[in-house]
Structure 1
């Protein structure tokens, strides 16, 4: 286990009041977009904002101060960054996690201590006891105590957050939670599970003194709606422009922020904005990389994505998809290698019909394969013909994928009527199950394989693209339930392998491919980017913005 001392950049117990600032003014955004480098003016502006606050009596030393770096990233509205109002995709979740801490965090290897300095589990796996760190405070200066933790988990039971890992089999996984003292939290779960520690530890903690009187958190508009205990505070947010400005929290209890501020700014062309030094990082396409390769001023860090384009079938809306022959025919009829070549210029990986990608240690290479085979598809369909509507987002890649799939499926008597809408509308259609076929690109495939249960066997799941309307398989349901409570990893791996093989045979969802992420940045400007073991978007990872002593 990684200890607190190995990771922390120091504990700071200063107390000061911090109030959320108003909406970022358009002039400030435009000025920020025109900055070519991390300028003295920008750093000074961040410092000026900080010094306007109440000054603690014992200042940090110069060595402890965050660098005067202002990172700028491509913007876009991803919702108010609190646990109840951020958008469900990664960018919204990532911003929220910079403001709100959890009991545990994740680094490259696994779970690490965070608000919980350490923890222990009872022999029967039903009781987890967390010991909290000293000196943690909320952004408004109030101390963080075990009461806040108890309150959070009880509040989430009544008011589930956007990203909710505390439900399983239609019920709350926690049976009871109590605080024996101000620094100890004891949680009793309904039944032991290999997933409970991560699911409980990674949930964001709420300040009781703010939320205990809020009856509808999804509608709450108070200026303290983004007060967390994380390493950054929100200085401004403009939903119309999709801009955010976060400042380093100077009284943060743990690892020091490495930057003075993070700004998400509007850009019409991310590559051009990067070339003009308007943003600090991009995920570059393969045709852009050539101009930056072998140049010492730039770093290219490529990782297989834990995202995947997938074709979703609504079996309630169109009963034809209940036939396994049609589902398998669709899988054979789509040239997935061709999609990678034509859309990604060869930079990608075929999706596994067992759902877990090759980059995940739980991947089973022996699942049923669906190589492009028009004749097999025709044999499965026979003389039948079908017409389906396909809803997609308006991203150019999605449009191109849909066009290529339409050509492929025409060959086997399946006609696609493509409806392109903005991505937010497509996501809403998927969540509300208002579609026949849907093309969507979502992530989360690097995590614990219990997501197989959530996706294929949990009717109560609410995450984006995590349910298949009208699909049920009792054998998959049983196996998915058993694997969750198997504490022996080797035995659980056998169960997960079986589950992947069953899912690949059934093919309730068609996994098309995952692109390779090519993160491009200037190391002289900032070199703190890192990856979590279960997530390959470097700018979404909290530890990317913090000093680290565990390396």
Structure 2
């Protein structure tokens, strides 16, 4: 019965896992495959300042988080198919989904040579309760989900949670473990910026970080417990022209625009991959600052009045798909195609507006692509009687404005659209109508009781098929209500020189190989 419950709980991952109380992959067998002992592989990537790569000081967007995760391991990881064992060699779920028991691997050490123990794991979960890191998967509806942590054997630890929940296995498994001997005396982790703050147990050790240049350097950790590192050194370096730097072999991968991809298509030196459509743009409507957005007819008029296909054609140059108004993208395994599509229809928009006119401000980043999107929106909406003023700022300023709800309409782009569909709750339906989410996901002033109730219900439903039905219904309601306007999901390219390094891979829920820890490690044959 316990094994059956464990399997049921793990099924919220979009395809079935091999088992829940045993390893889905034999990661031990990956350790000594393939890499030549005398070959030092250095991979150089595009730089940029994403903060110091500690769990508390990296910038909240993906490039900051994924650098940190190369240094810090977690109990579980992800590959192309789903969740796999990592620091924990196996797990079991008991007490109707309220107890998670993880078995720690042997011979795991920190980068300073100290042994990683169950005390470190217990300390981490206790520490995150009082000191929330940049990304804290352990907070749901504003509450910390872990009730207590108990060491029950020399290599087993039990984590008791507040309730059965379809998302908790991944939440617990993704926590980045901290070394107790370093962090136990740190009272303010947001000010802890010494090199000790980046000592982890991951496959790579911190070497250097230059905030002004946006450069980083990591070296392979020689005593790593797990799969051998295929890449000895990873560097992020500043470049002024990515294409030129790539062709002069100063960097090793690029994501070129569709209009220049032909330069690499017929050249055997290069491999081209098409990234998954799990990165996208959307318009957030601030209903607190502009209560007029609470009128569903205005929101629907905006959806019909914005020519999103024109953005795909002119801005993304065809390398994108118009986003679903139900938010979950087309490549997601739980995408519901039977929802309202909102094709461009200015006549329908004018009918919904009933001759009313409005003026709004769109806040956008200063990247050329974002400014072009904003300009196309401005032109489309002008035709239906809505004037738009564009305010363009740098990315961090825009993100902070969204976090502080200091905007009318915000144009924002980010990844994460391939994640577990519980993100619908984080975006659209927090407890008591209050959205508990990352700053980029807030919908200020939005409230829909039916959506909120379904958002809460889906994460507590342990039956996969029943949960999927709820998620499909949520997409229908969200598309009908238009709380925000998803614009398009990118289908960008990933190009690399095959002879330099060819280990790049995608996890099942992410759009970019550079961010995947397993891209740099030996894989099981």
Displacement of 1:61:
12
Unpaired runs of at least 5, structure 2: 1-17
| Inter-CA distance 64–10: structure 2 relative to 1 (3 Å threshold) | farther
**Deviation string for 1:369-407 (max 9, x for gaps)?**
100000011111112111111111111000110111100
Name the counterpart of 2:4. none
Name the counterpart of 2:26. 6
- SS at 2:452's partner residue? helix
Query: Residue 436 of structure 2: which of 450, 456, 461 is its match?
Result: 461
Matched residues in 1 for 2:451 and 2:81: separation? 30
Displacement of 1:64:
6.9
Matched, 1:111 2:86: no
Name the counterpart of 2:165. 193
| Inter-CA distance 143–379: structure 2 relative to 1 (3 Å threshold) | same
Query: Residue 347 of structure 1: which of 302, 319, 327 is its match?
Result: 319
Matched residues in 2 for 1:384 and 1:67: separation? 68
Name the counterpart of 1:396. 368
Q: Which residues in structure 2 correspond to 1:9-88 (within 5 Å)?
A: 65=37, 67-88=39-60
Name the counterpart of 1:449. 421
Name the counterpart of 2:345. 373
Query: Residue 127 of structure 2: which of 155, 158, 170 is its match?
Result: 155
**Deviation string for 1:90-129 (max 9, x for gaps)?**
1001100000000000000000000000001115111110
- TM-align CA RMSD: 1.6
Matched, 1:360 2:303: no
For the Cα contact (< 8 Å) 2:428–2:452, is it kept in 1? yes
For the Cα contact (< 8 Å) 1:170–1:460, is it kept in 2? no
Name the counterpart of 1:237. 209
Name the counterpart of 2:467. 492
Matched residues in 2 for 1:460 and 1:165: separation? 15
- SS at 1:441's partner residue? strand
Name the counterpart of 1:528. 503
Matched residues in 1 for 2:321 and 2:33: separation? 48
For the Cα contact (< 8 Å) 2:426–2:437, is it kept in 1? no
Matched residues in 1 for 2:39 and 2:270: separation? 20
Query: Residue 319 of structure 1: which of 291, 295, 302 is its match?
Result: 291
Name the counterpart of 1:93. 65
Tell me the matched-pair count. 502
| TM-score, normalised via structure 2 length | 0.93
Matched residues in 1 for 2:467 and 2:24: separation? 30
Matched, 1:538 2:513: yes
| Inter-CA distance 541–82: structure 2 relative to 1 (3 Å threshold) | same
Matched, 1:514 2:480: no
**Deviation string for 1:500-537 (max 9, x for gaps)?**
11111111110000111200001110000000000011
- SS at 1:124's partner residue? helix
- SS at 2:263's partner residue? coil
- SS at 2:265's partner residue? coil
- SS at 1:379's partner residue? helix
- SS at 2:233's partner residue? strand
For the Cα contact (< 8 Å) 1:350–1:513, is it kept in 2? yes
| TM-score, normalised via structure 1 length | 0.89
Name the counterpart of 1:221. 193
For the Cα contact (< 8 Å) 1:66–1:260, is it kept in 2? no
Matched residues in 2 for 1:427 and 1:193: separation? 30
| Inter-CA distance 62–334: structure 2 relative to 1 (3 Å threshold) | closer
